[in-house]
Structure 1
Amino acid sequence: MTIKTVGIVAQGDMGAGTAGQLTRNGLRVITNLTGRSDRSLALAKHAGMEDVYTDATLIDQADIFLSILPPGQAVALAQKMAPYIKASGKKIIFADCNAIAPATAQEAQTIVEGAGGRFVDVGIFGNPPKQDKNGTRYYISGPDAGYLTQLQNYGLNIIKCGEEIGRASAIKMCFASVTKTMIAMMAETVVAAKALGVYDEVVHELSSYQTDGFNWAAARVISTPPKAYRWVAEVEEIGKTFETVGLPGATCTGGAEMFQLIADSPLGKETVENRQRGTTLEDCSIVAADYIKGLSKK
């Protein structure tokens, strides 16, 4: 099968970023923008995504379908698309590219294959690809994963990592367990330090003790607010992954509470394109600490 048309849902930063890389390199990318936000419409337009208006048309016209959305919605999207896959009568490749536990990927696999489709497990590493910077890696696994290697011809960095569904997700979960928990811990630390009136001293000690590690984590805390809502479910999926091999998932899932707090605070209203608050580590700590103080007064 030669890939000529790729269907993508949704149109967020990673979905639109992936679409933009494909369209810039000559591939047709389609989506369904019905009911989507103004921001999603703008991102889709910038990425060159073509609106086909319905999910049925999306499945009918796509050679492969990429599910790229907040991880808590991954199984629901598979369930939503399953009737259209069944009605189409085609063995479409459904690639789940979300940050989910291997067991969750296998749950989505059961749904897709039950409708007659073929399933590929994908783990995405790095920031959304851009025209001038494309360090994003797409790890793929599953019996039908080889089809996705064609996307290397259209600007994606595809890495095949095995025949087993869940393998790509396992790599993603183990990797993200380090990055996301470090970010959550740094965020919680500086907010606590601000609330306790010792922010300057704590930041001085952390930055002096491990300069590179501090700078890495601080920069990612600053970039977190627009993405925090997505990371809640991702960190919960990491905990689920660890529990399946007998490890304590709570080591990671505590971070979900911190990301939820950020998402619920004024920081959660930030967008990538229009940052107003939390553009420094200290301002992130001020906004979150003030938010917590306000909660305690209710």
Structure 2
Amino acid sequence: MTVVGILHPGSMGAAVAAQARQSCAQVLWCPAGRSLATRKRAERYGLTAATDLGELTERASVILSICPPAYAEDVAAEVSAHPFSGIYADCNAISPASMARVSTIVGRTGATVIDGSVIGSPPSATKSARLYLSGPAAALSPVASLFAGTAVLARTLSGGIGRASALKLSYSSYQKASRVLAAVSYALASDYGVEEELLDIAQGRSTSYLAETAYIPKVAARSWRWGPEMGEVADALREVGLPADLAVASAAIMGRWDDRRDSSLSVLEALEHLHRGDEGEGT
């Protein structure tokens, strides 16, 4: 049975790895330099600790990279420092150009690189996520088969490296920017005391993120990851000649929440934090 390596088991990576465990002999991860929270998460999901990255690359035939997008190329470089001739699936929210660089970096080891993207919540007994895969056709099926019958719905795309990343960022450019715009809208409305009226309007449109005010603190808590992802969205838009202003602006707004990595804020506190973000900036 296949031995899989996961780099690195964050909330999404660990959940995806747990689904792969259903068809794998073992899922390895590398504890070196990881936090206590990551260690506990890996234990909870039944992942096996490798001695170091060298052992992981030696034993695994498939490596899944699922990390914050800002670190995707660094992680690829770390892997490329070790012999690895298996399948390397970069499943991060990065632009097609970033994905091409990852492919070049890891390809130097003799590995087969495929492009992946995860869309949805961390998979569990009650939630599913889609894993889109593109790249060399012969390598797609072995990775997709790892998730047969699990809460990860693997789907292959034709067209080679870049397609899965482009799909993810096409989705992110709307989904995440819309969440940010909803927060900014409420921040403005609260300054004028019309937030209840804004909510009343939004609730008449059931598909509007403006009706989901409770989600605003979650946006603040995730901005340290979402901000760099919106930077990648901007890159992807520029690469095809489309305006990237909204993505750039969204990343900048998320930067005001960059130090918030928990969702303990109230909605009002999250909105106030947007105002405090300009302290010390010039006029």
Spell out the pairing of 1:149-228 with structure 2 (5 A cutoff): 149-153=144-148, 155=150, 156-208=152-204, 210-214=205-209, 217-228=212-223
Q: Deviations over 1:237-291 (max 9, x none)?
A: 1111111111111121211112111223xxx141xxxx4323xx444324544x3
Confirm whether residue 99 of structure 1 aligns to residue 97 of structure 2.
Answer: no
d(CA) in 2 for partners of 1:221 and 1:43?
A: 25
After superposition, the Cα gap between the structure-2 partners of 1:40 and 1:101, relative to the gap in structure 1 and judged at 3 Å, is same
Counterpart residue identity of residue 270, structure 2: C
Counterpart residue identity of residue 258, structure 1: I
Unpaired segments ≥5 residues, structure 2? none
Specify the alignment match of 2:9 in structure 1: 11
Q: Secondary structure at the match of 2:155?
A: strand
TM-score of the aligned structures, taking structure 2 as reference length = 0.90
Q: Secondary structure at the match of 2:21?
A: helix
Counterpart residue identity of residue 44, structure 2: H
Confirm whether residue 135 of structure 1 aligns to residue 128 of structure 2.
Answer: yes
Greater share of helix: 1
Confirm whether residue 255 of structure 1 aligns to residue 243 of structure 2.
Answer: no
How many pairs align?
A: 279
**1:31 pairs with 29, 32, 43, which one?**
29
Confirm whether residue 111 of structure 1 aligns to residue 142 of structure 2.
Answer: no
d(CA) in 1 for partners of 2:90 and 2:241?
A: 25
d(CA) in 2 for partners of 1:190 and 1:215?
A: 8
TM-score of the aligned structures, taking structure 1 as reference length = 0.86
d(CA) in 2 for partners of 1:292 and 1:195?
A: 16
Identity %: 26
Deviation at 1:217, TM superposition (A): 4.8
Deviation at 1:192, TM superposition (A): 2.8
Deviation at 1:188, TM superposition (A): 1.6
Confirm whether residue 232 of structure 1 aligns to residue 227 of structure 2.
Answer: yes
Q: Is the 8 A contact 2:19 2:147 kept in 1?
A: no
Confirm whether residue 147 of structure 1 aligns to residue 133 of structure 2.
Answer: no
d(CA) in 2 for partners of 1:119 and 1:127?
A: 25
**2:270 pairs with 245, 270, 284, which one?**
284
Once structures 1 and 2 are overlaid, which stretch shifts more, 23-32 or 50-59? 23-32
d(CA) in 2 for partners of 1:216 and 1:206?
A: 5
Q: Secondary structure at the match of 1:119?
A: strand
d(CA) in 1 for partners of 2:193 and 2:113?
A: 52
Q: Is the 8 A contact 1:19 1:48 kept in 2?
A: no
d(CA) in 2 for partners of 1:122 and 1:216?
A: 32
Q: Secondary structure at the match of 1:157?
A: strand
Unpaired segments ≥5 residues, structure 1? none
Deviation at 1:216, TM superposition (A): 6.0
Deviation at 1:41, TM superposition (A): 1.0
- C-alpha root-mean-square deviation of aligned residues, in Å? 2.2
Specify the alignment match of 1:121 in structure 2: 115
